Amino acid sequence: MTLATKTTFKGVIPPLVTPFDADENIDVEALRAEVRHHLAAGVQGICVTGSTGDGQMLSLEQSVTIAKVAVEEVNGAIPVIAGIIRDSTAEVIRYGKAIAATGVDALQVTPVHYLFQPDEETTIEYYRRITEATGTPVIVYNVIPYALIPATTVYRILQEVELVVGVKQSGGNIHQLADLLKAAPTEGVVLTAVDDLLYPAYLLGAQGAVSATLTVVPELCVAQWDAVQAGDHKTALDIHNKLLPVWRSIDGPNMTVRIKAALALQGRNGGLGAHPLTPVSDGERAAIRAALVEAGVLPV
């Protein structure tokens, strides 16, 4: 494994879907094609087995397979992050050791959350134990609404736990993100996952994004990131207004299946959803198509 630095994870980092076949096995060739698509789009990293990748549904063996495929396809060109969504320190470490052996650059780890919200010291110790046991950089995935890690605690984790290299701030909307960016941690990057507010998050100082919209339309998202870096705020705002309807069309129940429908409309193969996720309705597909047309991704 390449030991990632604390400045590695910046820019557009799409969280990939996990393509399932009809037997709910991993469609490896579809996954390889998606990785290649994102590489061609010029993204700065990829994330697998996160929420967009149905990480909570994946066995250890499936998670390892997906991470291994991603690492092989990327071949060192950009960082690979692998998500772990488990509900005990021991399970996270078990997954983490196995996934780390594939050569991923970092693990993206949610707090434990099922009927339990650890206090501040326990949360800090949780991430410390994971990094010490796996020897692998970790990005805090702060997404669980009923186990949201306060900005003050995230700041302490970034400052105090050596191998925690960043946070993907999703839960708490932009208010939590704003508090964290104002605190200005010096020991890790702050990435946004507030899809409808990517542009203002960059203006506030977010150093990149890991969010579902990036997966659906990576080319637009890379163009927006580049525009912000160049100070071209008219272009960045124009792209924001194109991205907003795309996010609105995929946000909601069965989101990962909606995302796969958006990929299919563009000629990409995101595979099937795993039960109990259900296929999109004709109405949902029509709304997604309309959003992609509005964004200029599909013809009228």
User: Active-site residue among 68, 95, 127, 168?
Assistant: 168
Judge contact between 296 and 247, C-beta under 8 A: no
- At 115 the pLDDT is 81
Position 176 pLDDT exceeds 50: yes
- CATH H-level superfamily of 11-218: Aldolase class I (3.20.20.70)
Q: What is the pLDDT of residues 264-296, one digit of tens each?
A: 999 999 999 999 999 999 999 999 999 999 999
Active site includes 114? no
Is omega for the bond preceding 276 within 30 degrees of 0, making it cis? yes
Active site includes 97? no
- For residue 2, the number of C-alpha atoms closer than 13 Å in the C-beta half-sphere is 14
Is the CA virtual torsion 276, 282, 284, 290 positive or negative? positive
Q: What is the pLDDT of residues 210-223, one digit of tens each?
A: 999 999 999 999 99
Q: Is pTM beyond 0.75 here? A: yes
Residue that is written with structure tokens 């958006």 in the block: 262
Q: What is the pLDDT of residues 1-53, one digit of tens each?
A: 344 444 489 999 999 999 999 999 999 999 999 999 999 999 999 999 999 99
Strand-pair category, 189-192 with 46-48: unpaired
Q: Where are the beta strands (DSSP E) in 124-171?
A: 138-142, 164-169
User: Active-site residue among 141, 155, 199, 202?
Assistant: 141
